[in-house]
Amino acid sequence: MKCTGHKNYETMKPYIETATETVILEMEKWNKNLYRSKIINLLDDVDEEFMKDLLSDLQIRLAKVN
């Protein structure tokens, strides 16, 4: 409140709620990217046939979700 010049909590409350929502969204993005990175690292050492099978399985699973 000192930084923004707001005098009481009620006038500052909408900004706090927005900041909290933004943090939640950013953490969801971070986690999603973390999972992607872990998956990519695991796949670095697999052979081409495994990758083909994995792609096929993934496409089937994604089709069920969408």
Question: Is position 2 within any domain?
Answer: no
- Look at residue 59 in the predicted model and tell me its pLDDT: 96
Instruction: Identify whether the C-beta of residue 1 lies closer than 8 Å to the C-beta of residue 7.
Output: yes
Q: What is the pLDDT of residue 19?
A: 86
The pLDDT confidence band at residue 5, using thresholds 50, 70 and 90, is confident
Where does the pLDDT of residue 6 fall: very low under 50, low under 70, confident under 90, or very high at 90 and above? Answer: confident
Nearest to 32 by CA among 21, 24, 22, 44: 24
Q: Position 30: which residue type?
A: W
In-domain check, residue 1:
no
Q: Which residues span the domain enclosing 47?
A: 9-65
Flag whether 3 is in a domain. Answer: no
HSE value, Cβ hemisphere, 13 Å, CA-based, for 48: 0
For the segment 8-57, what is each residue's pLDDT rounded down to a tens digit?
Answer: 888 888 888 888 889 999 999 999 999 999 999 999 999 999 999 999 99
